[in-house]
Amino acid sequence: MKILSTPNISRCIGCHSCSLSCARLVHKQLSWDSAGIRIKSSGGLTTGFTANHCLACDPAPCADACPTSAFSQRKGGGVIVKKKLCINCGACVTACPIDAIYEDRSGNVYVCIHCGRCVDFCPHNCLEMETVAMEEKKV
């Protein structure tokens, strides 16, 4: 099983290409926010950037918190998202310890599904799809 990781995030130049590609390709949207990976400056541009994305918890507290099974546990970490089942309660957003889930004004939620479509759009190879052993990932 593969998960999105950011081993070279120190190389990030803040172009937002990853966020824009996730919004465009996964969610059919144009946005900085409605994406599974979001780039922030880590205390101003002079200190570089951080990537806010799902760290693939297993078990995932957001899946546990979801009352309608819109989020369910993904093998190897993270969640499988079934949008049709979501009632926009925001429980997953509250449950995520690292603020990796974005909630828009209508209550729609956006989380990394570890599909890897952002990886090719990073010009500095900050992102990788990392293979994880199932047992290792249990936290």
Partner 1 sequence: MIADHFRVLIVNLSTGKGRIVEEDGRNSEVGGSGLAAMLFNKYGFADKAWDDPQQPVIFAIGPLTGYFPLMSKTVCSFKSPYHNQYTESHAGGRSALALRFAKLDALVITGKSKRLCCVNVSSRNLDIKDIEFLRGKDVLETGKILRSMYKGSGHRSILRIGPAGEKLVAMSCINADTYRHFGRLGGGAALGAKNLKGIVIQGDAIFDTPPGKDYSKLYAEVFTQVTATDMMKKYHNLGTPANLQGLNDIESLPWRNLQATSDPAIDGINGERFATDTLLRNSACSGCPVGCIHVGCVREMFNADHRYTFKQVAYDYEPIFSLGTMLNVTEARSVLNILDVMEKVGLDAMSGGVALAWATEATEKGFISETETIVPLRFGDAEAYQLATQHLGNSSNDFYKLLGQGSLKAAAEYGGADFACVLGQEMAGYATGEVFFAAQTLGFRHSHLDSGGYAYDQKHSDQDIEGVIKFLIDDESGRAFMTSMVSCLFARGVYKNDLLAQCLQSVGYTKLAGSIDDAGRHIQKLRWQTRIATGFTPEAITIPKRFYKIKTWKGPIDAAYLDSLKTGYGQAIMQLAGDK
* Residues of this chain that bind partner 1 (CB under 8 A): 13-17, 20, 23-25, 28-34, 38-41, 44-46, 48-49, 104-105, 121, 123-124
User: Which of 72, 121 has the CB closer to partner 1?
Assistant: 121
User: Which of 15, 89 has the CB closer to partner 1?
Assistant: 15
User: Which of 7, 59 has the CB closer to partner 1?
Assistant: 7
Q: Hey, which residues does 80 pair with through a beta bridge?
A: 72
Instruction: Tell me whether residue 131 is exposed, middle or buried, using C-beta atoms within 10 angstroms of its C-beta: 0 to 12, 13 to 18, 19 or more.
Output: exposed
User: Shortest gap between Cβ of 42 and partner 1 (angstroms)?
Assistant: 9
User: Which of 54, 63 has the CB closer to partner 1?
Assistant: 54
Q: Return the SS3 of 131.
A: strand
Measure CA of the first residue to CA of the last residue in the chain; give whole Å: 16
User: Which of 38, 74 has the CB closer to partner 1?
Assistant: 38
Tell me if the bond preceding 97 is cis, omega within 30° of 0. Answer: no
Q: Return the SS3 of 101.
A: coil
Question: What is the distance between the alpha carbons of residues 49 and 17, in angstroms, rounded to a whole number?
Answer: 13
User: Shortest gap between Cβ of 89 and partner 1 (angstroms)?
Assistant: 20
User: Shortest gap between Cβ of 14 and partner 1 (angstroms)?
Assistant: 5
Q: CA torsion 51→52→53→59, rounded to 10°?
A: 130
User: Shortest gap between Cβ of 38 and partner 1 (angstroms)?
Assistant: 7
User: Shortest gap between Cβ of 48 and partner 1 (angstroms)?
Assistant: 7
